[in-house]
A = this chain, B = another copy of it.
């Protein structure tokens, strides 16, 4: 069991403003400074990654990622200060909710059948 077994979704109308996949994507963008590099790293298409960033940017009060134009796949992407704050807050929620039920999750895991 890890914190990854708890998936937090923040609904915004019919979409999810942020969730496990979008948070991982944000992290990959922060590290690589590029949506296309982040997409490759996550094993998703550039279009899919761009759509997820677009959903996040439109769901929150301010953009989480600034995209520069230029080149066929844009000219790089930069997490905003606001984006870093949202990601930090999201990761804290993941960790805190996991820690709150770690014992109970272990108990439930103890009820699983022995693996063959």
By a beta-carbon cutoff of 8 Å, the part of chain A in contact with chain B is: 1, 5-13, 17-18, 58-61, 82, 85-86, 89-90, 92-93, 96-101, 104-105, 107-109, 111-115
Q: Contact between A113 and B10 (Cβ–Cβ < 8 Å)?
A: no
Say how many copies of this protein the assembly contains: 2
Q: Contact between A96 and B100 (Cβ–Cβ < 8 Å)?
A: yes
Q: Contact between A61 and B11 (Cβ–Cβ < 8 Å)?
A: no
User: Can you list 7 contacts pairing A with B, beta carbon distance less than 8 Å?
Assistant: A58-B113, A61-B114, A82-B111, A86-B111, A89-B107, A89-B111, A93-B104
Knowing A60-B111, A109-B10, the reply to whether A96 touches B101 (Cβ < 8 A) is: yes
**What separation, in Å, do the CA atoms of A98 and B107 have in the docked complex?**
18
Contact among B9, B12, B85, B97 with A112 in the assembled complex (CB-CB below 8 Å)? B12
